[in-house]
Amino acid sequence: MQYDVIIIGAGPGGIFSAYELVKLNKDLKILVLESGTPLAQRNCPIDGKKIKSCINCKSCAIMNGFGGAGAFSDGKYNITNEFGGNLHEYVGKKEALELMNYVDEINMKHGGSNARKFSTANSALKKKCLENDLHLLDASVRHLGTDLNYIILENLYELLKDQVDFKFHKQVDNIVANDPYEVYVKDEVYLGKQVIVSTGRSGSKWMQKICDNLDIETKSNRVDIGVRVEIPAAIFETITDEVYESKIVYRTKKFQDKVRTFCMNPKGIVVNENTNGIITVNGHSYEDESKFSDNTNFALLVSNHFSEPFKDSNEYGESIAKLSNMLGGGVLVQRFGDLIRGQRSTPSRIEGGFVTPSLTATPGDLSLVIPKRQMDDIIEMIYALDKIAPGTASDDTLLYGVEVKFYNLQVDVNKNLETEHKGLYVIGDCSGVTHSLSHASASGVFVARQIAEK
């Protein structure tokens, strides 16, 4: 049960760590421990008919399993240092971009060759945003779509399965910093000379426990709270046709807070997401035109930064999400016009609107859930977006809540993403260094190269 490298988590960071290690040294004995299931067994029971909302499965198939939380995402691969994480602060801006482009090449070789690539460089949208006090962030975007993303993961698994020891349904209980490291799963113990931790967003609380046990310093001071907006696809067509994924930032006049668009899904669908038993909302989209919907959805998120002595930013976000779960049994949905008029949405008001919801959610009043400051920011942002995409502030625009982006605690790692315990690396979203598919994957390649050099 002894290995050269043990990787905890089979999300993008773990997958690309394994890929690069195998490429650089085929003699390495590598183990990947994953709490979820193999890719082929990942299946959310929500079908919109018999099962319309989350039933709190023991392991959420959307969040856990081979491919991580990104497996069923819309597969947007953003190649940029402008957002998606702070990997460049550790490895340098040039190398961070080189790593992301390298992973993009791997994706193209393993099923993503037909995926479109967009860029905000020299975009007419950038000027239009500036004219309306909005700011479009620079990025190259490869849109894989949920369908192509799945194919790439299938191909990578087929490539690795005979060279890497994958063990699923293995929830790690503890890591002991001996030589070699001891990794405990119930009554089993696995020994590894090097350990890479890559447990993603859903492993945030677990990561805190491991860091406490190993006396690794952490800090946490940010959480993003907002809603997912769903509108007719035609309203944002001029934007999505040109740049597909537009990260637009706005500073509100009232509170001077920053609000941004996030995870745009042209002709996509809104979905549930289960993080540590809390139901939030997200969005998916596809490359296959036969799977297109009539709507486009995207998140509007307000960044919340906290100072000492407050240290539980994720708990703050969870408490707001729990309110939504309490009132609606899961996700709430409200028409923008109802929100502005101070009235809750009802099933008849939703059905009478011109936007057909792509997710079965409980009609309600989001102002009873989201704090006034964040709600005022979101409303102001919708009116700002209406200037570049008229119709965004329509009465029938749908708002789903809540959407929360939990930023994992910032783990104290050095420039090699290595903790104070030599040979113990923390990468991907669980490190707090990354929070995107591209940065997480790149961090996996980076650490694999550090280990291979040894």
Higher pLDDT: 308 or 147? It is 147
Tens-place pLDDT, residues 312-366: 777 888 899 999 999 988 899 999 999 999 999 999 999 999 999 999 999 999 9
Tens-place pLDDT, residues 194-224: 999 999 877 878 998 999 999 999 987 678 9
Tens-place pLDDT, residues 148-174: 999 999 999 999 999 999 999 999 999
Q: Tell me the C-alpha distance between 39 and 12, whole Å.
A: 13
Mean pLDDT of 225-246: 94
Judge contact between 268 and 284, C-beta under 8 A: yes
Mean pLDDT of 65-87: 88
CA-based nearest residue to 14, from 184, 165, 213: 165
Domain assignments of the chain as residue spans, ordered by start: 2-118+141-219+411-453, 222-406
Measure Cα distances from 254 to 15, 214, 224, 374 in Å: 44, 44, 18, 11
Mean pLDDT score of the chain: 93
* Res 221: pLDDT: 62
Whether residue 48 has pLDDT greater than 80: no
Higher pLDDT: 223 or 103? It is 103
Query: Confidence band (pLDDT; 50, 70, 90) for 49?
Result: confident
**pTM summary value:** 0.84
Percent of the chain surpassing pLDDT 70: 99
Q: Which CATH number fits domain 2-118+141-219+411-453: 1.20.1250.20, 3.50.50.60, 3.90.1150.10, 3.30.300.30?
A: 3.50.50.60
Q: Tell me the C-alpha distance between 59 and 44, whole Å.
A: 10
* Res 58: pLDDT: 79
Whether residue 66 has pLDDT greater than 90: yes
Q: Tell me the C-alpha distance between 69 and 82, whole Å.
A: 22
Give the list of residues 6+ apart from residue 65 with CB closer than 8 angstroms, or none: 10, 34, 36, 37, 38, 39, 41, 42, 59, 71, 168
Whether residue 5 has pLDDT greater than 80: yes
Token digits for 99? 């790593």
Looking at residue 162, its amino acid is D
Judge contact between 324 and 401, C-beta under 8 A: yes
Whether residue 22 has pLDDT greater than 80: yes
* Res 442: pLDDT: 98
Give the list of residues 6+ apart from residue 288 with CB closer than 8 angstroms, or none: 145, 147
Tens-place pLDDT, residues 378-403: 999 999 999 999 999 999 999 999 99
Tens-place pLDDT, residues 422-435: 999 999 999 989 98
Token digits for 413? 């790692």
Whether residue 293 has pLDDT greater than 90: yes
Note the Cα 287 to chain centre separation in Å. 19
Whether residue 453 has pLDDT greater than 70: yes
Whether residue 278 has pLDDT greater than 90: no
Lowest mean pLDDT among 26-30, 76-80, 382-386: 76-80
Burial (CB < 10 A; 0-12, 13-18, 19+), residue 251, is: middle
* Res 123: pLDDT: 80
